Amino acid sequence: MPARAVTITSGKGGVGKTTVTANLGTALAAQGQRVVIIDADIGLRNLDVMMGLENRIVYDLVDVVEGRCRLRQALVRDKRLPELYLLPAAQTRDKTAVNPEQMVQVCDELREGADFLLIDSPAGIEQGFRVAVAPADEVLIVTNPEVAAVRDADRVIGLLEAEEKGPLHLILNRVKPEMVRRGDMLETNAVLELLAIQLIGVVPEDEAVLAAANTGRPVALSDNSMAGRAFHNIAHRLRGEEVPFLPLREPGLLGRLRRLVRPEGE
Amino acid sequence: MTQPAEVRIKGIRQGLLIGLGAGEWTERLALLEKRLAQSAGFFQGGRAVLDVGDRLLTATEIEQARDLLALHEVALWGVLSSRDETTLAAARMGLVVHLDMVEPSEQKREVTEPETDFPPLVVERTLRSGQKVHHPGHVVVIGDVHAGAEVVAGGHIIVWGKVRGVVHAGAMGDSGATVCALDLSPTQLRIAGYIARSPEEKRRRPVPETARVRNGRIEAIPWRDK
């Protein structure tokens, strides 16, 4: 079966698109899937850094499109997972270097040898975004539980709906349970009510994610962090498995008492 | 409620009918300019017929009007006048000078209903941030109007859902227009030239409401109280 192309986008910058792409790619590959992650953020590439693959890049997406190399030559194999490849973006060019048709063509060529193509979209709703969503069979919209990020996500969803791109799924990233409990952060349900699309994952704020990004070792490589587990769950859901959502809230006193009474929960 | 020398813009089947009213030509044009500027692109892409009454106009004066409209991306398409000289000048410029359906006197009729020569527009989806609906007639939305979305209607706006964005009913100046919604807490609500914001505090249980202009301000009336 040819690969499914999944684009990760958000509208607003800094909500964690690249982190999500790196970790989902890692989680899927760790689950035995053949994955190519594609950095469509031309001119501002980061995915290679997060994967710790920066020093292995020889050719990039723009080289492929402009015919300076074959597609195979531009793919960088992951250090740890043999079925995970990165197609890096060019750092010295800009968003106009690739057009949507070229992106579709590159992805079509990659589909045969993979199970998943994950495309990391640049922020914004301009050409770079158009290029990143052009080949998508499915789009993951990343947002944070804050009003501005949700507003931008809504804008992006509107654009995707207008183009009849789908299915669309939401990833709520960087949720701080403590702040939600205090009422200082939007609740998952409030975000879902605002955006009215299907949720595929909630990723808690986790210092391990930041540390991992700096060392080029995505948290999804191990599942001993909350965030790492959340990414693995999203990967399972992408593969069509039903996985219950992690209890985000650390149980309060009442919850702990209830758990004492009924160990299995509800 | 009609001031004697108002510039009236009305939707007709063929486009827009602009009644300039009595008064000095340049002053009329300035008023028209003001109306167009207020409507912030609402008429953009439309075509208009000017009803100038019994004014004597030269080709140059008609051109002034045409340029003014063009500035707001409205095409001057015709000139209606009871004065032969004006009609002739307009006809020489290639403009339509007679509408079968529209009598020049029509603008004098008092309009109390929203101007509904345009069929209502039904939008069967949720409007998300950045999406806009502009329509000279009534607008019905079956879905929500999210924050960042905008609905501008010449007539009423009815939303079978939540309103969080900006809604403007009676945008061509009809203050009799209303906005009805199942849950009405827009970022901003306008009816003709009136503007209101939703109260800051959140209501626990929203009820369907109708907003209309009463005593010179916009009031939201819960549906149950009627």
Strand partners, A198: A169
**pLDDT band with cut points at 50, 70 and 90 for residue B105:** very low
Whether the per-residue pLDDT at A95 is higher than 60: the answer is: yes
What CATH code is assigned to A4-261?
3.40.50.300
> Is residue B68 within 8 Å of residue B29, measured between CB atoms?
yes
Identify the closest residue of chain B to A151 by CA–CA distance: B129
> Is residue B55 within 8 Å of residue B86, measured between CB atoms?
yes
Q: Give me chain B's average pLDDT, please.
A: 83
pLDDT digits (tens, 9 = 90+) for A179-227: 888 888 888 999 998 999 999 999 999 999 988 888 899 999 987 889 9
Nearest to A196 among B126, B147, B149 (CB): B126
Identify the closest residue of chain B to A149 by CA–CA distance: B129
Residue with the two structure tokens 């009423």: B156
For chain A, the distance separating the N- and C-terminal CA atoms, rounded to the nearest angstrom, is: 40
> Is residue A53 within 8 Å of residue A86, measured between CB atoms?
yes
Nearest to A155 among B125, B126, B148 (CB): B148
Residues 6+ apart with CB under 8 A from A216: A49, A50, A51, A52, A53, A54
% helix, strand, coil for chain A, step of 5: 45, 15, 40
Whether the per-residue pLDDT at A125 is higher than 50: the answer is: yes
Instruction: Give the closest-approach CA distance of A151 to chain B in angstroms.
Output: 7
Instruction: Give the closest-approach CA distance of A99 to chain B in angstroms.
Output: 24
Identify the closest residue of chain B to A156 by CA–CA distance: B129
d(CA B19, CA B159): 31
> Is residue A251 within 8 Å of residue A266, measured between CB atoms?
no
Quote ipTM for the complex: 0.74
Q: Is the dihedral of CA A33, A42, A90, A72 positive or negative?
A: positive
Instruction: Give the closest-approach CA distance of B138 to chain A in angstroms.
Output: 23
pLDDT at B112: 43
pLDDT digits (tens, 9 = 90+) for A196-207: 999 999 999 999
Provide the number of CB pairs (under 8 Å) joining chain A to chain B.
28
- Three-state secondary structure call for residue A174: strand
Identify the closest residue of chain B to A160 by CA–CA distance: B128
**Cβ-Cβ contacts under 8 Å, B149 against chain A:** 158
All structural domains of chain B: 8-108 (3.30.70.260), 121-225 (2.160.20.70)
Report the interhelical angle of A147-162 vs A188-195 (nearest 10°).
30
Give the helix/strand (H/E) hosting A173.
Answer: strand A168-175
pLDDT digits (tens, 9 = 90+) for B44-95: 777 888 888 888 888 888 888 888 888 888 888 888 888 888 888 888 888 8
Q: How far is CA A153 from CA A156, A169, A184, A245, in A?
A: 5, 11, 20, 21
The residues on A that touch B, with CB distances below 8 Å, are 151-152, 154-155, 157-159, 161-162, 194, 196
DSSP string, B39-106: TTTTTTT-EEEEEEET----HHHHHHHHHHHHHTT-EEEEEEES-HHHHHHHHHTT-B---SS--GGG
**pLDDT band with cut points at 50, 70 and 90 for residue A250:** low
* Interface with B, mutate which of A125, A150, A154 (most B CBs under 10 A): A154
